[in-house]
Structure 1
Amino acid sequence: MRSQLLWLGPSAMLVASLVLSQPAVAQPTDNLLGATVDDLLAAAHQLSPNLRAATLDTAAMAAKAEGAGKLDDPTISDSYQYYKDPGVFSAHTVMMSQAFPLWGKRSLRREAALADVDATRGQERAAQDELDEKIKVAYAQYFLINQSLKINHEIFELASHLREAATVRFKSARGDQSAIIQAMGEETAAKLEAVRLQGDLGAARANINALVGRAGNAPLADPVKLRATPGAALVVSTLVERAHAGNPNLSASDAAVAAAKTRSKLANKAWYPDLTVSAGPIIQTNNMPVGFAATLGFNIPVPWGREASGQHEAAAQLGASEQRFNAALFEIEGALGESVAKLQAARSAAQLLRHETVPQAKAMFQTVLADYSQGKADLTATIAAQRQIHDVELRLLQNQLDEQVELAAIERLTGGDL
C-alpha cells in the first residue's frame, strides 16, 4: 500500500492523511463567550430578559401575598341629624368603621396567596429550564455546523488534490480530461456547501445570542466540545421519580392545586358572617360636651346566589387544577419515555457508525485509492468512496446532535442536569 501511495506522490499522501484523520477539536483562542455551553448558560441566567421578567413576576406575587391577610381599609362616615324642635339639638356623628373577617378567613386568604407564590416560583424555574434546554440544543447545533465546515474543508482539499492527480495522469497519457473536470466539479460543490454552512453558522450565532440576551451580531467563540452524555443506561422509572420531585411545572401545578383547595375552603366560609365595628364622637350643635357612639354590625349571607356561585366557581377551579396536574404528570412520563428511547437509539447508532461504518468507509477509500494509483479504477469510484466517508462523518455528527437534543429534553423534564 505504501508503494502505491508513493506512486501518486506527496499530494496523494496528503489526501490519505486528510481523510483518515479525525476532525481536530477547536481550541479557544480568546475569552469570547460561546466556547462551552456552561458559559452560555451562566450568561443567560444573568442577561435573559425572559428570566428577569419571570423573577419580577415572582416578586410581584410575593408582594401581593404580603397584603393578602391584612384588614381592609377603615371607613369614616359623618351622619348629621337635624331637628326643628328647638328643645332638641341637632348633632354630627362621626364614625370610623372597620370590618373584621372571622372564622379564619384572613389566614385562608394568606395561605392561598402563598400557594400562588409557590406556583409562580415554579413557573420561574420552568422558564429557566426551558431556556437552558434551548441553549443546550442551540449550542449542539452550533458545534455540528462548525464541525461540518471542517469536514467540508477537508473534502475541498481532497478534491483539489484529486484534481492535481488527475491532471498529472492526463499529462502522462494515463487519464482523460473528464476526470479533471469531475474533480473541479467536486471542488465547486464543496465551495457551495461552505457558503451554505457559513450562512447556517451565522444564523446559529444569532440564535444563541438572542437566547442569551445579547445583540444578534455579538461575537462568539468557536465551540470546543459537546456536553458529556451519561455513560450508564437511563432507566425511565428512575427518571420519572426524579421528575416528581424536581420538575418545576409539576411543582407549579401542585401549588395551584393547593391554592384552589384553600380558596374552596374560603368560599365555603362565605356563609359565615363577618363583624364590623364602628365608633366615633357625637358633636352637638349647641356646643355641649362631645358624646360617643359605637355600633357592632354583622353582614347577613342571604341565599341570593352570590355565595353559592362562589362555591361552584371554587370547586370547578379546584377540579381544573387537579386535572392540569394529572395531565402534566402524564405528559412528563410520556415525554421521558420517548426521549430515553431516542437517546438510546442515537447512542447505539453512533457506536455502530464510529466502530463499524467509519472504519469500513476508510478501508474502502484506501482500496479505491490504491486501485486508482495503479490505473485500475477511475476517478468516479475514488470520489464515491470519498463521499461515503463524508456522509458517514456527517451522520455521526447528526447522531451526536440527536443525543444532545434528547439529553437536554430529559434534563428539562427532570428539573436538573444528569
Structure 2
Amino acid sequence: MGAQWMRLGASGMLVASLIAWEPAFAQAAAHPATDGPLGATVDGLRAAGEQLSPALRAAALDTAATAAKAEGADALDDPTITDSYQYYKDPGVFSAHTITVSQAFPLWGKRDLRKTAALADLDEARGQERAATDALDEQIKVAFAQYFLTGRELAVNREIGELDRRMRAAATARYGQGGGDQTAVIQAQAEETAVKTEAVRLQGEMDAARVRLNALVGRSGDAPLAEPKRLRPLPAVEPALAALVERASASNPTLAANDAAVSAARSRRTLADKAWYPDITVGAGPLIQTNNRPVGFAATVGLNIPLAWGREASGQHEAAARLGAAQQKYEAAAREIEGTLGEALAKLRAARATEALLHDEAMPQAHATFETVLANYSQGKGELAAAIAAEHQMHDVDLRLLQTQLDEQMALAVIERLIGGDL
C-alpha cells in the first residue's frame, strides 16, 4: 500500500502543474528543446509536440482525473445522523429523542478491492496517455519525412530545370546552325514550363507539410519552421520480427492499458461476488428524555440482508461479461500489433532493398543515359525527343528513390509506435 499511496500522492502535484501549464508551455514554445531551430530535426519537433500538443495535455488531464478518483476509492460512505422521537400518552412513561450517528463499514475486503480496481484504472489511463504520445510521435515522424522529402523533390526539380535549360540551349544552337528545327526549341521550352509548374505544386506541398507539422506540435499553422536538415537514420541491423514482438509485449502502452483493464475487471468481478456478503452498520448517540432526566445513551448494530431480488446476480453477470470483454480486447490488440509489426517490417525490408537497387544501379544508369543522349544531340546526332525521354526516365528514378525513402520512414515510425520506443 505504501507504493500505491506514493503513486497517488503525486497526482495532486500533477493536477496543479497541469492547471498552470500556460506560462510553462509558452516558454517552451519560445525555447523548444531542440538541437537547432524548430523544424530542423524530427527530435526537436517531437520534444515540442510533447510540451505543446493539446491532445497530450488532454490525455494528461484524463490521467490526473483518474488519479484523483482513485485517491478516494476505498473511502467510507458518509455517516448518517438520525433523530427519532418516541411519544407515549401514558404519563408514567416519558417520551424521548434518540439522536444517532451511524456509519456503514464494508466487510470482506470490499474496500481493498475497490482500491485495487481504481489503481488498475489509473494504470490503464497512464497506458492510454503513453499511447497518445507514441501516436503523436508517429505522426510527427511521418510528417517530418514528408516535409524533408518534399524539399528534396524541390531540389531535384531545380536540377531538372537546369537540365532543361541545357537542352533548350542545345536545341537553340542546333537550330541556329541549321541542323535542327524550331519544333525542338519549342519542345525544350515546354519542358522548362512543365518544370516550373511542378515547382509551384511542390512548393504548395511543402507549405502544407509545414502547416501539418505546426498543427501536430500545437502551434499556429503559419508559424515559421526551419528547413529540415536530415532524415532519421534507419537501424544499421534489420530487426527480427520475434524480437520486435517480444519488445512490444513488454513496452507497448496499448497492451499495458488493456492489461490494466483486465486487472480492474477481475477485481470488480470479485467485488461483485462479495455483494452477497452482508456489511455492518454501527450507530450511537444520546437518548434525551422529555422529563429532564439525565441524558441516556443508545447504540445500534445493523446488517444489510442481500436478497435474491436480482441486483446482486445482475451485477455478477455484468462483471463477468466485462472481464471477458477486457480479456478479448487484450488478445485482439496483441494479435493486431503482431500482424501490423510483421507488415511494417516487410515494407521496411522491401523499401530498403528497392532503395539500394535504385541508388546503386537505376540512378547511375539513368544519369549516364541522359548525359550520353544529350551530348549526342548537342553534336547534331539524334532527336530532342530521345533526350527528353531520357530526362523523364532519370526524373522518375529520382522520384521513386524519394518515395522509397518515405516508405522506409513510415514503416519505421509504425514499428517504433508499436514497440513503445525508438529502435
TM-score higher than 0.5:
yes
Matched, 1:145 2:138: no
Q: In the alignment, which residue of structure 1 is the partner of 2:18?
A: none
1:379 to 372, 375, 384: 384
Match of 1:21 in 2: none
Residue type at the aligned position of 2:352: R
Secondary structure of the structure 2 residue equivalent to 1:92: strand
In the other structure, the counterpart of 1:399 is 404
Aligned to 2:296: 291
SS at match of 1:76: strand
User: Which letter maps to 2:355?
Assistant: A
Partner amino acid, structure 1, of 2:126: R
1:358 alignment partner, one of 336, 354, 363: 363
Offset, 1:382 = 1.1
The answer as to 2:312 corresponding to 1:307 is yes
Indicate the SS of the match to 1:351. Answer: helix
Matched, 1:271 2:291: no
Q: What corresponds to 2:8 in structure 1?
A: none
Report the AA paired with residue 402 of structure 1. D
Q: Is 1:177 equivalent to 2:165 in the alignment? A: no
Structure-2 separation of matches of 1:363 and 1:172: 26
Tell me the SS of whatever aligns to 1:159.
Answer: helix
Superimposed CA distance per residue, residues 202-234 of structure 1 (whole angstroms, 9 cap, x where no aligned partner) = 111111111111001111111111000112122
In 2, the alpha carbon distance for the partners of 1:78 and 1:185 equals: 98
Structure 2 counterpart of 1:344 = 349
After the TM superposition, which of the residue ranges 148-157 and 333-342 deviates more from structure 2? 148-157
- State which of 325, 330, 338 in structure 2 corresponds to 1:325: 330
The correspondence for 1:257, drawn from 253, 262, 266, is: 262
- Per-residue deviation, residues 314-346 of structure 1 (Å, max 9, x unmatched): 000000000000000000010010000010000
Residue of structure 2 in register with 1:11 after alignment: none
Task: Note the alpha carbon deviations across 1:17-59, whole angstroms, 9 max, x for none.
Answer: xxxxxxxxxxxxx953100000000000000011111111111
Query: Which of 395, 407, 411 pairs up with 2:416?
Result: 411
Q: Give the Å deviation of 1:151.
A: 0.8
Supply the AA of the counterpart residue of 2:302: G
Structure-2 residue corresponding to 1:22 = none
Tell me if the contact between 1:112 and 1:259 (Cα under 8 Å) persists in the aligned partners.
yes
For 2:336 and 2:415, how far apart are their aligned partners in 1? Answer: 13
Decide which of 95, 111, 119 is 1:114's aligned counterpart: 119
Asked if 1:166 corresponds to 2:171, the answer is yes
Supply the distance in 1 between the matched residues of 2:92 and 2:193 (Cα, whole angstroms): 115
Q: What does residue 231 of structure 1 align with?
A: 236
Q: RCO (CA 8 Å, sep 6+): is it higher in 1 or 2? A: 1
Provide structure 2 residue ranges, at least 5 long, that are not aligned to the other structure: 1-34
User: Are 1:56 and 2:76 matched, yes or no?
Assistant: no
Residue number in structure 1 paired with 2:99: 94
Q: Does the CA contact (< 8 Å) of 1:206 and 1:217 recur in 2?
A: yes
Q: CA deviation at 1:84?
A: 2.0
**TM value normalised by structure 1:** 0.92
Give how far 1:86 is off. Answer: 2.1
Are 2:157 and 2:199, in contact at CA under 8 Å, matched by a contact in 1?
yes
Q: Is the 8 A contact 1:32 1:219 kept in 2?
A: no
CA distance in 2, matches of 1:84, 1:160: 119
3-state DSSP of counterpart to 1:113: helix
In structure 2, what residue type is equivalent to 1:134?
Q
- Say if 1:136 and 1:404, in contact at 8 Å, map to a contact too: yes
TM-score (norm 2): 0.90
| Residue type at the aligned position of 2:118 | A
CA distance in 2, matches of 1:371, 1:169: 12
Alpha-carbon separation, structure 2, partners of 1:332 and 1:221: 35
Query: How many angstroms does 1:366 deviate by?
Result: 2.1
What value does the CA root-mean-square deviation take over the aligned residues? 1.1
1:40 pairs with 2:33: no
> Percent same amino acid at aligned positions?
67
- Is the 1:140–1:404 Cα contact (8 Å) retained in structure 2? yes
Segment of structure 1 superposing worse, 293-302 or 30-39: 30-39
Q: Which amino acid letter does the alignment assign opposite residue 190 of structure 2? A: G
CA offset at residue 155 of structure 1? 1.3
For 1:125, the aligned partner's letter is R
Aligned length: 389
Check the 8 A contact 2:348/2:411 in 1, yes or no: yes
The alpha carbon displacement at 1:282 in A equals 1.1
Residue ranges of structure 1 left out of the alignment (5+ in a row)? 1-29
Which residue is equivalent to 1:368? 373
Distance 1:141 1:77 in 2: 70
Structure-2 separation of matches of 1:154 and 1:174: 27
Counterpart residue type for residue 45 of structure 1: E
Distance 1:196 1:369 in 2: 27
1:383-412 Cα distance to aligned partner (Å, 9 max, x none) = 111111111111000000000000000000
CA offsets 1:347-370 (integer angstroms, 9 cap, x no match)? 000000000001111111122122
Determine which of 125, 128, 133 is the counterpart of 2:138.
133
